[in-house]
Structure 1
Amino acid sequence: MSGQQQAPRRQPMARGPMGQAGPGEKAQDFLPSAKRLLGTLRTDMPQIIAVLVFGVISVALTVIGPKLLGEGTNIVFAGAVSLQFSDVPAGTTKQDILDALNADGQQQVADMISNVDFVPGAGIDFGQLGMLLSLVLAVYVFASIFGWLQARILNGVVQRAMHRLRMQVEDKIHRLPLSYFDRVQRGELLSRVTNDVDNIGQTMQQTLSQVVTSLLTVVGVLVMMFVISPLLAVIALVTIPLTIVITVLVARRSQKLFVEQWKTTGILNARVEETFSGHSVVKVFGHQAEAEAAFRTENEQLYRASFGAQFISGVIMPAMMFVGNLVYVAIAVVGGLQVAAGVMSIGDVQAFIQYSRQFTQPLSQLGSMVNLLQSGVASAERVFELLDEAEQTADDEPAETAPESASHLDFEDVSFSYSPDKPLIDGLSLAAQPGSTVAIVGPTGAGKTTLVNLIMRFYDVDGGRITLDGVDTRRMTRDDLRARTGMVLQDTWLFSGTIRENIAYGRPDAGEDEIVDAATAAYVDRFVHALPDGYDTMLDDEATNLSVGERQLVTIARAFLADPRILILDEATSSVDTRTELLIQRAMSRLREDRTAFVIAHRLSTIRDADLILVMENGAIVEQGSHDELLAMKGAYARLYNAQFEAPIDDADVPESAIEGPADAGFAARAGASQAGASESAGD
C-alpha cells in the first residue's frame, strides 16, 4: 500500500484562548505502563542479571550481620552470667546451677539463663568475641562493596535505557506525518521529549536500585526471622497486608493527580513557548495582562495538581512508620516474654528486633517510592502515547524513480480532504510544464498551501494521482521526491550557527564558491559583508541579529544552493521591502529557468509574468490562464486583483542601474513606475 497511512484521523486538541489545551485523553492503567517501562531494560539483560546477583550477595551479607551481632551479645551475656557464679565450687556445671535455682524457688531466673551457654566463673571470652566482631566487620564491608557494584551497573543500565528512549522519540518524530504537528502544540511536544523523558530517567534511577534491594531484603530478613522465631515472624508478617492495603488505597487517588501534574506541565510549557516566541506581538497589542492571567491560571492548576499528588502519596511513609512502630512494640513485648520463659536467648531477641526494623524499613521505602513511581509512570504514559502515534506509511518497495531532469508535474483528478466529512479538493486536474511558472492565488482557505503539501507528499491524495514525468509520486520515495524540490516559506527557519552553515543546509557538500554564488544570486552577499564576521557571523536561535527580510534572503539562498528541479515559493517575498522584492523577483527568474515553479501569492502584482495562474476557491480551480487572459475574463481573478488597488510593474519600467544603485534610487525608480502604472490603470 502506498501513500499516507489512512488511520482514523483524530480531531485536533481543543484550544482555548491563546492555544490553551483542553482536556486530554484518559490515562492508561498504571501496571501496563509500568510493565512496558521495565521492558525498555530488556536489552541489558546480562547487566540486569549481574545487578540481581550482586544485590542478592549484598543483601545476604547484610542480613547475616544482625544474627552475628546477636551471637556477640550472647557471648557478652554468657560471660556476665558466668561471673555471677564465680564463687561456686570448682567443677560446678551449668546444670548444677539451674537445679540449685529451681530448688531455691528461682525458677524464672533458671528459665531465663537456661538457653545461655556459660561456664560458671569463666567470664567473657574476648578472643571469641574479637573474632566474631572481625567477621561482622568483613561481612558489612563486602556487603557495601557488592552494593556499590550493584548501584554502578544499574546506573549504566538506566542511562543506556534513557539514551535508547530518547533515540526512539527522535526517530519517531521524523516518522510522524505532518498532520500530527498540525494538531499538537510545539510546547506540549517539547515537554514530552524533554521533561517527561528526564522524569522517567530520574524515577528509574532513584527507585530501581531501592526496589531491588528492598524486595531482596524483605525476603532475606523474613527467612532469618522464621529461623530465629516463627511466632515473632508471624507477628512481623502483619506488616505486609497493612502495607499493601495502605499503598493501594493511596495510589488509586494519587495516580490521577500525577497524570494531571505532567499533563498540566505540558500545557504550561506550551503557554510559555507560545507567549515568549511571540513576545513582541503580545506587547504590541497590549495583551500582557491577559498572557499573565492565563499563565497564573495554568500555573495555579499545576500547583494544585502537584501539591495534591505529593501530599496524598506522602501519606504512605508516615503510615508505614506507624505500622512498623506497632509491630516493633509487639515484637519487643512478645520477645521479652520469650526470653523470660527461656524459649529464646537475649541475643536472638536483639537480632530479631534488628530484623524487624530491617523488615519494616524496606516496606516503608517501597511505600515512599510509590509517589516517584507514579510520577515516572505518568510521564511514561505520555511518552508512550507519542511513540504509539500512527506513522506515515513506508515508501513502496521497490520504489520507482523519475529521470534526474524530471520537472513535468501533472495533477490527474486529484481529491483530498483533511477530514472525511469536510471535502477540500475534488477532481482537480492541471499540468505544469517544465520551465514554467505556475502561480496559485485565491482567498484564505481556498486550498493553495494544501496543493503544495500534496506536491511535497506531506499529505497523500485521497483520489486521483500526481505524476512527475509520468511517474506516480506515491510510487517514489519521499526522500527522492523532496530531494528534487526546493521550498521557500513565508516563515523563515534558521538555526543557531553561521550564515554560511545556514545557507549550506540546502546542500551540505557544497563548496565555498557555490555557497558564495548562491548568496550572490539571492542578494545575501550585498549585506553580509556589512556584518562583523561576514559569512561567519553567528546567528542565534531566532536570528535576531538579522532583519526579517535578510532572514528571508538567507532561506532563498539556501534554495538556490539546493538547485532543485521543482521550486515552491509560499509567499516567499512577503517579509521583504518592495525594492528587495524586486531584487528577489529577478533572482527567481534566473532560478526558475528550466525548472517548474509553483508560487503562492497574495500580492498579485508579483505573479503577473507567471506562465499559468490558477485561481482557487473552496479547493477547486475556478479560473486559469495568464494574467492578461484572467483580467479579460473579469471574473474571480479580476475581483481579487482590483481589490488590491495595485497596477502591474514591468521590469522595463525599472532600469538595471536602479537595481544595482543605492537603495534610495531603486526605491524612487520603483515608486515612479508604480505611479505611472497606476495612472495607466486609471486611464484604462
Structure 2
Amino acid sequence: MSATNKKFLDLTHLRRVFSYAAPYKGRFYFSIVLAILLAVITPVRPFLIQYTVDQYIAHSMVKWLVIMTIIQIGLLLVETAMRFFFSFMTSWLGQAVVRDLRVAVYKHILRLNLRQFDKTPIGTLTTRTINDIESINDIFADGLVPIIADLLSIICVLAYMFAVDWQLTFVALIPFPIILIATYYFRRSINKSFLSVRNAVASLNAFVQEHLTGMQVVQSFAIQDKEFRKFDSINREHRNANIKAIFAYSVFFPLIEIILALSISLIVWWSAGEALNLGKGQQGVIMSFILCLNLLFRPLRMIADKFNVLQMGIIASERVFKVLDNDDVTKDKPDAYDGGGKPLNGQINFENVTFAYTDENYVLKNVSFEVKAGETVAIVGHTGSGKTTIISLLNRLYQVKEGVIRIDGRDINDYSTDYLRKNIGVVLQDVFLFSGSVMDNITLRNPEISKEKVIEAAKLIDMHDFIMRLPGGYDYNVMERGATLSLGQRQLLSFIRAMLYQPSVLIMDEATSSVDTESEHLIQHAIDTLVKGRTAIVIAHRLSTIRKADRIIVLDRGEVKETGSHAELLAKGGFYAGLHAMQFASETAEPETNG
C-alpha cells in the first residue's frame, strides 16, 4: 500500500479536523439530516413519473396529469431549496473551521522559537497558513459530508430500481464494472497530479517569497536571467501537474457519459424485447429508469473527484497539524512571574552559559558576566563571536543549552515571556518596518498608545522635526520594510519605538553602523537619552561609539576574553587593544613615528 493510501485510510487527521467543527455541531448535524432527507427524496420523482405515465397518461386522465405535474414541480422546488441549504451549510462549516484553524496556526507560529524560522522557508509556512488550510475547507464543502450524501442517494435510487424491476436493474448496471475501473485509475491519476500541484505551489511560494525579499541582491549581481530560469522550471512543473489533472478529467467525464448512454440503450433494448415477446408495456418504468440512471450517474461522476478532494484535504491537514504539533515554542511556567505591575530593576547575570544553534557548533562557551542595574555595558568582538546571540538568549528568543541567565536574581525562564520582553527594549542594526504609517510602526498598532505620547517621545530624542519633514508627517507611509526611508531614518524610528515603551533594559545591536555622519550624531544623542536611568547593553563594531560605556566585555569565538573600561583594556594591551589598533591604525601610527 502506498504512503498516500495509508494517509487516506488513516482517519486520525480527519477526526481531528472535525473536532474543530465541535463549536458548530448544530449546523453539522443539520447538514447530516439534510443529506439523509435528500437521499430519501431523490427516488420520489422517478416514482411519480412512472405512476403518472402508467396511470394517468395511459388512460388520458388530464385532470390528474395536471395535479401530478404541479406536485412534481413543488417537489422539485423543495429539493432545490434543500440542496441550497445543504451546500450553503457545508461550505459555511468549512469556512468556519478554516477561520479557527488559521487563527490557531498563526497564533502558534507567533510562539515558535526563532530556530524554526532559521530552518523553515517562510514560503513554506505561508503555504501551510494559507493554501493548505484553505484545502481543509474542501473536506466539508466537497468532501466527507457530500460524499455521504451522494452514497445515500445512490443507495436509495438503487433500492427503488430493484423494487420496481430487479431484472431491468441488473441489465442497466451491466456497464458499471467499467465505471469502477475508470474511477480507480482516475482517482490514482488525479491524486498524483494533486500532490504534484501542492508541492509545486509550496516551492513557488518559497521561491517567490525569498527572491522578492532579496531582489536587491538579485539585481545588484545581475543574476535576473539565472533566477528567472529557476522560477520558470518550478512554474513548468506546476503547469505540467495541472495539465495531467486536466487530461484525466477530459477522459473520465466523457467516458461516464458514454457509459450512461450505453446503460440507457440496454434499458431500451431489454424493454423492447419484453414488449415484443411478452406484450409487456413498460413505458413508465423505462422513463423512471432513465431518470434514475441520471440520478445515479450524477453523483458517480463527482464522487471519485470528491474522494480525491477529501484525500488532499486530509494530506493538507496533516501538514497543518505538523505546524500545530511543533512544540519548539517558548513556554511559560504555570507560576511564571509577571512582575505584579512593577518594572525590572535590570541587573543581569550570565552564569556559565553555553549555546549552539546546531548541536555540534557552539556559539557561546561557558560565558559568565554581570551587568549591574543602571550600568551601560558594551560587548565587542569579531563577527561570529557571539555578540548577537547573547541578546537573543536574554530575550528568550532561543533557549540556553547549559548554564543560567538571571535578571534581578531570578532565572529568566521563571518570568512570563510577555513581561520579560516588555521590559527589554531592542534596537537592531537591520530595523524591520511594516507596511503602514510612521505612527503604526512606532506604536506597533497598539491602540492604547496615543499620538500625544508618540510626539512626546519623539521630542525627547529630537526626532519630531525629522518626522514632520516627511510628507504627511506621522501618517507618512513607509512602505514594506521601510523601503522609502534610509537606513539612518529607519534606525531613528526604532529609537522612538524603544523610548515609547520605556524598557528597564535597553539593548542596541550595531545601532550606529552603516549610517551617515548626521544620522550617527542624531543616533548618538538618542542613545545618550535612552540609556539614562536604565541598564543598557551596547553591541558595536565601531569602538569609538562605546568609549563612554561603564564596562566593555570582549568576546572571541564564543568566550569572554577581557572585561574592563575602555582605558583599562587599552592599558592591558591585550585583545581589545589589538581590535582598537586595527580600527585606529592611522591615529596610533602617528605618535609612534614622532616618538
Give TM-score scaled by structure 2 length. 0.90
Deviates more, 1:524-533 or 1:250-259: 250-259
Change (3 A) 1:373 1:242: farther
2:312 corresponds to 1:332: no
User: SS of the residue aligned with 1:539?
Assistant: coil
Give the match for residue 569 of structure 2. Answer: 630
Q: Of residues 118, 139, 144 in structure 2, which corresponds to 1:182?
A: 118
Distance in 1 between the 2:83 and 2:592 partners? Answer: 88
1:461 aligned counterpart, secondary structure: coil
Aligned position for 2:581? 642
Pick one of 346, 370, 383 that aligns with 1:444. 383
Counterparts of 1:300 and 1:171 in 2: how far apart (Å)? 34
Listed as ranges, the matches of 1:507-546 within 5 Å are: 509-546=448-485
Residue among 397, 402, 406 paired with 2:334: 397
Counterpart of 1:304?
Answer: 240
Do the aligned residues in 1 keep the contact of 2:142 with 2:310 (CA within 8 Å)? Answer: no
**Alignment partner for residue 213 of structure 2, among 277, 286, 294?**
277
The more displaced of 614-623 and 325-334 is 325-334
Q: What is aligned with 1:362?
A: 299
- Counterpart of 1:70 in structure 2 is 50
Q: Which amino acid aligns with 1:486?
A: G
In the alignment, the residues of structure 1 paired with residue 400 and residue 488 of structure 2 have an alpha-carbon distance, to the nearest angstrom, of 34
Report SS of the residue matched to 1:497: coil
Q: Which among 367, 372, 383 is matched to residue 428 of structure 1?
A: 367
**Cα 1:238–1:436 shift into 2, 3 Å:** farther
- 1:587-666 matches, within 5 Å, as 587-645=526-584
Is 2:410 aligned against 1:471? Answer: yes
Amino acid at match of 2:482: A
Q: After TM superposition, give the deviation of residue 344 of structure 1 in Å.
A: 6.5
Q: For 1:339-378, what aligned pairs fall within 5 Å after superposition? A: 339-340=275-276, 341=278, 345-378=282-315
Following the alignment from structure 1 to structure 2, what is the Cα–Cα distance between the partners of residues 482 and 683? 52
2:94 aligned with 1:158? yes
For residues 158-307 of structure 1, the aligned pairs below 5 Å read 158-201=94-137, 204-207=140-143, 210-236=146-172, 242-307=178-243
* 629-638 or 294-303: bigger deviation: 629-638
Q: For 2:467 and 2:298, how far apart are their aligned partners in 1?
A: 67
Q: Distance between the aligned counterparts of 1:515 and 1:319, measured in 2? A: 69
| 3-state DSSP of counterpart to 1:359 | helix
Verify the 8 A CA contact 1:58 1:144 in the aligned structure 2.
no
Instruction: Give the letter aligned to residue 550 of structure 2.
Output: D
Range with greater deviation from structure 2 (245-254 or 401-410): 245-254
From 393, 408, 414, the counterpart of 1:454: 393
- Which deviations, in whole Å up to 9, do the C-alpha atoms of 1:623-670 show, x marking residues without a partner? 2222233333333333333333467xxxxxxxxxxxxxxxxxxxxxxx
Secondary structure at the aligned position of 1:369 is classed as helix
TM-score (norm 1): 0.79
Identity rate, percent: 32
Please tell me whether the aligned partners of residues 400 and 471 of structure 1 are also in contact (alpha carbons under 8 angstroms): no
Native 8 Å contact 2:353 2:405 kept in 1 = yes
User: What amino acid is aligned across from residue 331 of structure 1 in structure 2?
Assistant: I
The answer to whether residue 331 in structure 2 is matched with residue 409 in structure 1 is no
- 2:461–2:529: 8 Å Cα contact kept in structure 1? no
**Which is worse superposed, 228-237 or 563-572?**
228-237
Q: Output the CA distance in 2 between the equivalents of 1:313 and 1:245.
A: 15
Greater mean deviation of Cα atoms: 216-225 or 582-591? 582-591
Matched, 1:561 2:484: no
Q: Displacement, 1:596? A: 1.5
Which of 66, 71, 82 does residue 130 from structure 1 map onto?
Answer: 66
Q: Within 5 Å, give how 1:496-515 maps onto structure 2.
A: 496-505=435-444, 509-515=448-454
**Deviation of residue 488 (structure 1)?**
0.9
Partner of 1:29: 7
Structure 2 residue 487 is matched with structure 1 residue 487: no
One-letter code aligned to 2:54: N
Q: Unmatched 5+ residue regions in structure 1?
A: 1-24, 80-123, 648-675
In the other structure, the counterpart of 2:41 is 61
Residue identity opposite 1:335 in structure 2: S
Over aligned residues, Cα RMSD in angstroms?
2.9
Q: Contact between 1:408 and 1:434, CA under 8 Å: does it hold in 2? A: yes
Q: AA paired with 1:251?
A: R
Tell me how far apart the structure 2 counterparts of residues 683 and 377 of structure 1 sit (CA, whole Å). 79
- CA shift in 2, pair 1:236/1:466, >3 Å: farther
Determine the C-alpha separation between the residues in 1 that align with 2:355 and 2:112: 19
Give the partner amino acid of 1:367.
A
State the SS of the aligned residue for 2:434: coil
- Give the Cα separation in 2 of the matches to 1:567 and 1:379: 43
SS of residue in 2 equivalent to 1:538: coil
2:563, 2:569 within 8 Å by CA — same for their partners in 1? yes
* In 2: Cα distance, 1:314 partner to 1:682 partner: 87
Judged with a 3 Å threshold, the aligned counterparts in structure 2 of structure 1 residues 504 and 218 are, in CA distance, closer, same or farther, namely same
Q: Select the structure of larger CA radius of gyration.
A: 1
Shift of 1:458: 0.9
Cα distance in 2 for partners of 1:563, 1:506 equals 17
